Amino acid sequence: MKKHNFSAGPCILPQQVMQKASEAVIELDGIGLSLIEISHRSKEFVSIIENARALALELLGLQDKGYSALFLQGGASMQFLHVAYNLLETKAGYINTGTWSLKSIKEARLFGEVVEVASSQEQNFNHIPKNYTVPGDLDFLHVTSNNTIYGTQIKDFPEVNVPLVCDMSSDIFSRQLDFSKFDLIYAGAQKNMGPAGTTLVVIKDEILGKVSRKIPSMLNYQVHIAKDSMFNTPPVFAVYVSMLTLQWLKDLGGIAAIEEVNEKKANLIYSEIDLNPLFHGIANKEDRSIMNATFNLTDDTLKETFDTMCKDAGISGLNGHRSVGGYRASMYNALPLESVGVLVDIMSELERKA
């Protein structure tokens, strides 16, 4: 039985994507070779990565707007360093909304002054900071759109006169935004786009080349742009699966179509959390993520019963992060609405039994 996969990442992917990817590992499109044994310089793979890059820009509405799309390695964690190396000359601003913000701030401080413009750390990151002022002398402002661990999500992005950088690792392609507001977006593939192993970086070309330091080739965005994301051997399988997932999303109707489904999933589980006296939400209501619903039991003595019910129903990956505890239902694009329904039914059943 296929389980209901609520894992925070690596996470669920569309079944047709998994099927086609598994076939390609044996043989890619009838060429007599496996996807993972062809040259990354072959016409077959060059076509794959070009298509993946084009699909990313198309879905974000950024084609022909001066942006480049890259598939790089090292995960979003490498981008914490990468961003600062390429953009931080004197001073950068960061909105601190969780663990990943803290990690990115740590890396940026290696290159210059970092201003923590706003933070929700004192409340264990259970909300998104508001009513803050962004200094006008920053090299860039960095935000994290969705906080997987704490279940919060930025609904309104700041209007700024400096380059806006966003870590969208856990909610990219999940909701409609004016993506042209962002000068640089990065996202690890393994939450909403593909398997672990590659990171999508979308950059407005004009913000590059303005720092005085010399940048090593592997960390230089301009080098990767000039080489069409092929400066070194790319993660062939991860890029291929990301391409398939992006095509799946396009065929569904793009971000607008998947946003409708994502909102239905989020509304279903949050309604149960709010109405069921046995559960309470962890994140502030106005900042709740549509990707990661964090919640806990009001009575810990019910934990063993609830966990057993979830296991028997084939629910996987529901445990909360160790820094928060409780439960976390990650509802990425490929998670069916039916899976959320199964979880909600169990929560309701627990209330009837209690």
pLDDT digits (tens, 9 = 90+) for 20-39: 999 999 999 999 999 999 99
Whole-angstrom distance, CA of residue 72 vs CA of residue 284: 34
Residue 250, both tokens: 């396009």
Predicted pLDDT at 354? 83
Helical H segments across the chain, by residue range: 15-26, 43-60, 75-87, 99-108, 221-226, 236-252, 254-275, 303-312, 337-353
Q: Where are the domains of the chain?
A: 15-252, 254-353
Predicted pLDDT at 94? 98
For the chain, give the mean pLDDT. Answer: 97
Query: Buried (b) or exposed (e) across 157-182, using 16+ Cβ within 10 A?
Result: bbebebbbbbbbbbbbbbbebebeeb
Q: Percentage of residues in the chain with pLDDT exceeding 70? A: 100
Whole-angstrom distance, CA of residue 164 vs CA of residue 242: 25
Predicted pLDDT at 1? 67
- CATH code matching the domain that covers 15-252, chosen among 3.40.50.2020, 3.40.50.720, 3.40.640.10, 3.40.50.300: 3.40.640.10
Helical H segments across 61-209, by residue range: 75-87, 99-108
Active-site annotation, residues: 100, 167, 191
Q: Say which residues have a Cβ less than 8 Å from residue 285's Cβ, sequence separation at least 6.
A: none
**Per DSSP, what are the bridge partners of residue 71?**
200
Whole-angstrom distance, CA of residue 109 vs CA of residue 256: 37
Predicted pLDDT at 2? 84
Superfamily of domain 254-353: Aspartate Aminotransferase, domain 1 (3.90.1150.10)
Q: Percentage of residues in the chain with pLDDT exceeding 90? A: 98
Mean per-residue pLDDT for 284-290?
A: 98
Q: State pTM to two decimals.
A: 0.97
Mean per-residue pLDDT for 273-282?
A: 98
In Å, how far from its chain's centre is CA 162? 23
pLDDT tens-digit map of 48-71: 999 999 999 999 999 999 999 999
Confidence grade of residue 100 (pLDDT, cut at 50, 70, 90): very high
Predicted pLDDT at 118? 98
